């Protein structure tokens, strides 16, 4: 690089540096930097001109510390008839920094307790981490806060309803259609009370052939269930719809009147 300016200032230039701001970056990055002349004390000398005025360089970012998973800690129990079915933290991992011998012993960290007592729906709350040994700190996320999500749903059962007929809709004009299989099973989830009174007549399965052309098509069925029931999957998950162009009907022939004789040529 070339520096220029008043001699007394040029003589004070100890080095030219690229001021790099890593910020929250965790991966290598390439960017344009404006070089800066500094004196022996590291103070910038803005009157110095530098050529080239911009420098493109790649900055390698090495991870510091150790990344470990976050476990969500809960207290209390959901309301009667409800259950907790899982929990996640966002982000799912945390980057810690501290003495190597302490980091080596940390396999995971836990959130502050999340209260789910009496909950009837999923609980989502911003919370901190706890239980870190002395000398260990959170590097990322910088504020040490995560979002803990605890999934709550009505306590219920899963059941397979078999041999439900599949209704084919939307067959294009001029085509004939067939479906295979024409009946399937639907796996549903509902509360125990709801499931006890549920019948296959309350569930409809349909497949749309709208917009399809001639040939065989694998299609996922659509399932309609009562509001308090959740359908999970069908068995099988797809059906085969076959479309064929319909043959035109033969032209109709006029019937011969009863008692009419066929005309034969003759002389006048």
Q: Is 47 left (phi over 0), alpha (psi -120 to 50) or beta?
A: alpha
Does residue 21 sit in helix, strand or coil?
coil
Which CATH code is given to the segment(s) 66-154? 2.170.120.40
Q: Using CA atoms, how far apart are residues 112 and 127, in angstroms rounded to an integer?
A: 6
Banded pLDDT at 26 (limits 50, 70, 90): low
End-to-end CA distance of the chain: 123
Mean pLDDT, rounded, for 48-76? 87
Start-end ranges of CATH 2.170.120.30 in the chain? 156-245
- CB-count exposure of residue 239 (10 Å: 0-12, 13-18, 19+): buried
pTM above 0.85, yes or no: no
CATH number assigned to the domain covering 156-245: 2.170.120.30
| CATH 2.170.120.40, the chain: domain bounds | 66-154
Name the strands in the sheet holding 82-90, side by side, starting at the edge strand that comes first in the sequence: 82-90, 145-154, 123-130, 109-111, 66-71, 93-97, 137-140
Instruction: Determine the Cα–Cα distance for residues 250 and 256; give it in Å rounded to an integer.
Output: 18
Task: Write the pLDDT tens digit of every residue in 122-169.
Answer: 999 999 999 999 899 999 998 999 999 999 988 888 999 999 999 999
Arithmetic mean of pLDDT, 17-36: 80
Check if the beta carbon of residue 230 is closer than 8 Å to that of residue 188: yes
User: What's the gap between Cα 224 and its chain centre?
Assistant: 24
The arrangement of strands across the sheet holding 222-224 comes to: 222-224, 204-208, 156-169, 183-191, 230-235
């Amino acid at each position: 690089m070339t520096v220029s300016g008043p001699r007394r200032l040029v003589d004070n230039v100890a080095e030219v540096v690229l001021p790099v701001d890593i910020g929250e970056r965790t991966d290598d990055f390439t960017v344009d930097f404006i070089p800066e002349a500094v004196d022996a004390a590291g103070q910038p000398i803005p009157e110095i001109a530098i050529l080239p005025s911009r420098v493109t360089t790649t900055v390698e970012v090495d991870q510091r510390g150790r990344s470990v998973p976050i476990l969500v800690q809960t207290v209390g129990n959901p309301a009667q008839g409800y259950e907790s079915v899982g929990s996640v933290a966002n982000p799912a991992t945390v980057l810690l920094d501290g003495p190597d011998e302490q980091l080596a012993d940390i396999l995971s960290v836990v959130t502050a307790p999340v209260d789910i007592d009496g909950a009837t729906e999923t609980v989502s709350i911003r919370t901190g981490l706890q239980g870190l040994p002395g000398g260990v700190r959170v590097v990322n996320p910088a504020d040490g806060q995560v979002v803990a999500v605890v999934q709550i749903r009505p306590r219920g059962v899963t059941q397979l309803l078999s041999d439900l007929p599949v209704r084919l809709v939307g067959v294009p004009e001029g085509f004939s259609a067939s479906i295979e299989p024409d009946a399937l099973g639907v796996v549903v989830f509902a509360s125990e009370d709801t499931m006890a009174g549920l019948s296959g007549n309350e569930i409809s399965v349909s497949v749309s052939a709208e917009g399809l052309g001639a040939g065989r098509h694998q299609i996922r069925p659509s399932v309609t269930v009562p509001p308090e029931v959740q359908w999970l999957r069908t068995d099988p998950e797809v059906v085969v719809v076959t479309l064929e162009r319909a043959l035109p009907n033969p032209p109709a022939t006029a019937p011969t009147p009863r008692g009419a004789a066929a005309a034969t040529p003759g002389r006048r």
